[in-house]
Structure 1
Amino acid sequence: MTAESYAVAPEALKETVVAALGDKARRVEVRLGEVTAIVHAEHYLEAMQLLRDAPGCRFEQLIDICGVDYSTYRDGQYEGLRFASVAHLLSVSLNQRLRVKVFCPDDDFPVVASVNHIWSSANWFEREAFDLYGIVYDGHEDLRRILTDYGFIGHPFRKDFPLSGHVEMRYDAEMQRVVYQPVSIEPREVTPRILREDNYGGGLH
């Protein structure tokens, strides 16, 4: 059995990724035994190409891409940016995994480069992040909604998207078709149940 049959230690992989990306990475960190590289948006495409091709990386497969809306938590993130695109890469040949995170420079119009031409599996993942978070993947040849309807308003995984949505649809018997209309239900306010300390566990005596 060759050395490549064993999983690479996280700290060793971190050093490899740091060497491969150089100043294209904001930082590379290890948490809970997993390696995450946070890269500059302007170097994202080049960084991803390196991660696929560099001898010590060889991440042949892109497993997933998802969006993240840090919303009010963004102050704890790099430069306080709101939206990020997160990719998970797998090297079958070297038995190692890597998470790559890139923050969109503009909160009002979040844009990052598409990696669809590097890994074809990115196609639907990028469309999903566009649909649910509104992240635009520049260079994607077919960037359109994939889960919501064509006339859907907004991006439902954003933290400021209302739980009730903006529109509702129903079947109109007179028109004999599905119609869209403004949401008719009242927003629900959830009040947590409060357990008084003096009554807590009273039924156990």
Structure 2
Amino acid sequence: MSKIETLKAHLEAELGPSVHALRLDRGELTLTVKAADYLVVARQLRDHPELKFEQLIDLCGVDYFSYKDMTWEGARFCVVSHLLSVSKNWRLRLKVFCPEDDLPSVASVTPVWNSANWFEREAFDLYGILFDGHDDLRRILTDYGFIGHPFRKDFPTSGHVEMRYDADQKRVIYQPVTIEPREITPRIIREDNYGGLH
């Protein structure tokens, strides 16, 4: 049995009904759990002697709105974490979908892996995903007065407001976006021997 198959067997045995989906694809293992089980499973993944995922190395939000230019069936927002076990030398992708699209929310895993702190703040800032139990959930990349969550697929590409320095008022001001959308047609090169091809 390969190392990844061993990990898969341990996950199935130790997590049992908490496993919503467990998928092995392209040499990577993805575990999906329900939002209600997320924090409990995170603790088991860290503490169980057969699993020992000591490190959370990444956490991000995902917006499945119009996923692959198709209508997505299911919850819109997902939190994806990448875990590492140094002692066992294996990795795992952990996914949890937010039960509500209007107010996406899951438990914070900062009590389990404190490295999740800024990652969860980033997912909140860019996707609007709330993390219940996070001690300091506030924006981390956008400005304090920023409106909306820019990585959501329905966020306008030009944004809502822009800021600039006003010399008369001697301060930064906010105003509605003044960018006019335009369509640019790329120039087409029609040389017979372009690039040395004949």
- How far apart, CA to CA, are the structure 2 residues paired with 1:58 and 1:76? 38
Matches of residues 100-115 of structure 1 in structure 2 within 5 Å? 100-115=94-109
- Partner of 2:18 in structure 1? 24
Long gaps (5+) in structure 1: 1-7
- How far apart, CA to CA, are the structure 2 residues paired with 1:157 and 1:94? 35
- How far apart, CA to CA, are the structure 2 residues paired with 1:133 and 1:192? 32
- How far apart, CA to CA, are the structure 2 residues paired with 1:103 and 1:189? 36
Shift of 1:91: 0.5
> Residue 65 of structure 2 contacts residue 71 of structure 2 at CA under 8 Å; is this kept in 1?
no
Secondary structure of 1:71 counterpart? coil
- Partner of 2:178 in structure 1? 184
Secondary structure of 2:40 counterpart? helix
Secondary structure of 2:20 counterpart? strand
Matched, 1:117 2:108: no
Change (3 A) 1:190 1:44: farther
- How far apart, CA to CA, are the structure 1 residues paired with 2:122 and 2:176? 25
Change (3 A) 1:181 1:76: closer
- Any idea what the Cα deviations from partners look like across 1:117-164, whole Å, max 9, x if unmatched? 111101000000000011000110100000001110111111111111
- Partner of 1:136 in structure 2? 130
- How far apart, CA to CA, are the structure 2 residues paired with 1:35 and 1:184? 46
Secondary structure of 1:143 counterpart? coil
RMSD value, Cα = 2.0
Of the candidates 37, 41, 44, which is equivalent to residue 43 of structure 1? 37
Code of the aligned partner of 2:156: P
Code of the aligned partner of 2:109: V
TM-score by length of 1: 0.87
- How far apart, CA to CA, are the structure 1 residues paired with 2:136 and 2:94? 23
> Residue 20 of structure 1 contacts residue 51 of structure 1 at CA under 8 Å; is this kept in 2?
no
Give aligned-pair identity as a percent: 64
Matched, 1:126 2:120: yes
- How far apart, CA to CA, are the structure 2 residues paired with 1:154 and 1:17? 38
- Partner of 1:4 in structure 2? none
Change (3 A) 1:22 1:71: same
- How far apart, CA to CA, are the structure 2 residues paired with 1:80 and 1:72? 11
Change (3 A) 1:188 1:55: farther
Shift of 1:188: 3.6
Code of the aligned partner of 1:9: K
Long gaps (5+) in structure 2: none
Secondary structure of 1:102 counterpart? strand
The alignment of Structure 1 onto Structure 2 pairs a total of residues equal to: 193
Matches of residues 1-205 of structure 1 in structure 2 within 5 Å? 9-73=3-67, 80-189=74-183, 202-203=192-193, 204-205=197-198
